[in-house]
Chains A and B, each alone.
Chain A
Amino acid sequence: MNLSMNVKKSFGSFTLSANATVSGDRVGIFGVSGSGKSTLVSMLAGLLKPDSGEIVLDGECLFSSDRRINVRPEKRRIAMVFQQHSLFSHLNVKHNLLYGFKRCSPENRSIDFDAMVGVLNLEELLGREVINLSGGEKQRVALGRAILANPRLLLMDEPLSALDDSLRFQIIPYLRSVSEQFGIPYLFISHSLIEMRLMTDSALVFEKGNMVEQVNSEQLARNRMGQSHVGYINLLQLGRPSESAGLFAYPWGAGQLLLSEGSNRDKSMAELSSKDIILFKQHPEAISARNLLECSVRSLFSSGRKIGVELECGGNSLIAEVVQDAVNELGIVPGSTIYAAVKASAFRMLPGA
């Protein structure tokens, strides 16, 4: 996807201004509520007309105020998945899925119906009425419907925000399949840093209607660590656990971690906040935290009033968060050895991830 946009749109005292050139298949649009994210995607989809500017996708001008071009939404081949699933309640699941497929010209139909149904696990749902589906099922059907329209770009406008946490992480692999399995580039809109990291490679950052940054998604999470009340979320890939003295021992790279929460899956993902890691200069004599990791400091970075410490612990990466005084007291410099303590209860398993 190659998208260039330079658009403005005003509503009363609010003005959205976006000027960016975007390339890549997994791009995010990040910002808090009211920053103009949804306004921007509505303009990209053709649902909202910019006051001025230009939008060009893969060399085709979709909007130009100077040249008086405004391609209608049905002609843009840009599909959308909305925050609320927005399924057609008068059609069953199969007919919802086929709505865009039937309207796609045969030469653009590269995605097979059965293949999509298989990837999104929709086989069992095809004959059902949409009112009988759960929130996660509805969002999967909405995703499948958008994929089957064979768009050249998929806009996902906070598709996870209406779902609770457990469903959110079950849906993410399906959302990722848009690019990984079907080769459709997407713009993923969210105010969640963790969703940004899981779903995108780079992100456009919006604040109060202005695009303020275009950045790597991982870098974005580090930059925002100091301002976030949850800090930087470390995502840990874990193996199948075994019980150990009332806790669960998970393989983690070459080492292992003790967690209070069990799992019966061969692979799990857990999150750990940078705020929940305590650093020691020397090996403590005794400590209640069940995980004590010997790590080397890979790098330091500042984020607001906090310092992020990137650690390498037995081949695995972790980011801890400290204040400048702690850096000075512990003598933390790149290459130094440090001990990281984490309570077994500080980890949170991500369901389905």
Chain B
Amino acid sequence: MILSNDDIQSIWLTIKLASVVTAILLILGTPIAWWLARSKSRLKGVIGAVVALPLVLPPSVLGFYLLLAMGPNGPMGWLTSSIGITLPFTFWGLALASVFYSLPFMVQPLQNAFESIGDRPLEVAATLGASRLDAFFTVALPLARPGFLTAAIMTFAHTVGEFGVVLMIGGNIPGVTRVASVQIYDHVEALEYAQAHQMAAVMLLFSFLVLLALYAWRPNALNMTRRD
């Protein structure tokens, strides 16, 4: 198997994108998941539905609205352009879109993990003198550790497999936004089936190994339906 420089570059970009998105979502998704797991607010259903939207929404729909939002007339675009940053067709625009797209893959496993802890350990911690923040870091986070690993793997793997949103927001710029899934599409468009096969095989093997590892470690880890 011989991969071209463009192929390797797209794989590297894919790994970079998935890593960045996973890191951002670990930070953003944790408080959202915690709130969804613990809150009794009426807004909980609404926020939960918004978080889960990417699971059922066609990627092109999500990509279209994100493109509008990031454009010069959109709220995000207006905000970022005021500090000299352009998002569409850049790596960071792609990363931001991927954060929205992969949000449920981070939040839902974390929410499940936090919910499974229950109230009691946190109540015990409180009666032993721990503040809410203290109990969160010393009790909730360690007890939810398996959920964090599941969430991180799911988010990483899902970001690797993105196509629709990537194409809408990032386009197809070599070294900037052309990730592995787009590279395969390009090979097929150019009738380069051998190269497409090689890239597809790499992606297939990667996805299979990730899921195999996850299932071997936690057989019930994947409890959401994927639509892409």
Q: Which residues of A contact B (CB under 8 A)?
A: 45-47, 72-74, 76-80, 82, 84, 86, 88-90, 99-100, 103-104, 145-146, 149, 151, 155
Contacts and interface: CB of A to CB of B under 8 A. Distances in A.
Interface in B134-151: 134, 138-139, 142-143, 145
Contacts of A77: 129
Contacts of A155: 127
B123 interface: yes
A47 B123 contact: yes
B120 interface: yes
B121 interface: yes
Contacts of B130: 74, 99, 103
Given A47-B126, A103-B130, 4 more contacts: A47-B123, A76-B127, A82-B124, A90-B142
B121 A79 contact: no
Interface of B: 120-121, 123-131, 134, 138-139, 142-143, 145
A233 B127 CA distance: 34
Contacts of A88: 121, 124-125, 139, 142-143
B143 A89 contact: yes
A97 to B, nearest CB: 10
A82 B127 CA distance: 11
Nearest to B123: A47
Task: Classify the interface of chain B: helix, strand, loop or mixed.
Answer: helix
Contacts of B127: 45-47, 73-74, 76, 78-80, 146, 149, 151, 155
Contact of B145 (A73, A90, A103): A90
Most buried by B among A86, A89, A145, A151: A86
Given A89-B143, A90-B142, A90-B145, A73 B121 contact: no
Contacts of B123: 45, 47, 73, 80
A77 B130 CA distance: 11
29 contacts: A45-B126, A45-B127, A46-B126, A46-B127, A47-B123, A47-B126, A47-B127, A73-B123, A73-B127, A74-B127, A74-B128, A74-B129, A74-B130, A74-B134, A76-B127, A79-B127, A80-B127, A82-B120, A86-B124, A88-B124, A90-B142, A90-B145, A99-B125, A99-B138, A100-B129, A103-B128, A103-B134, A104-B129, A145-B128
B141 to A, nearest CB: 9
Nearest to A90: B142
Contacts of B124: 80, 82, 86, 88
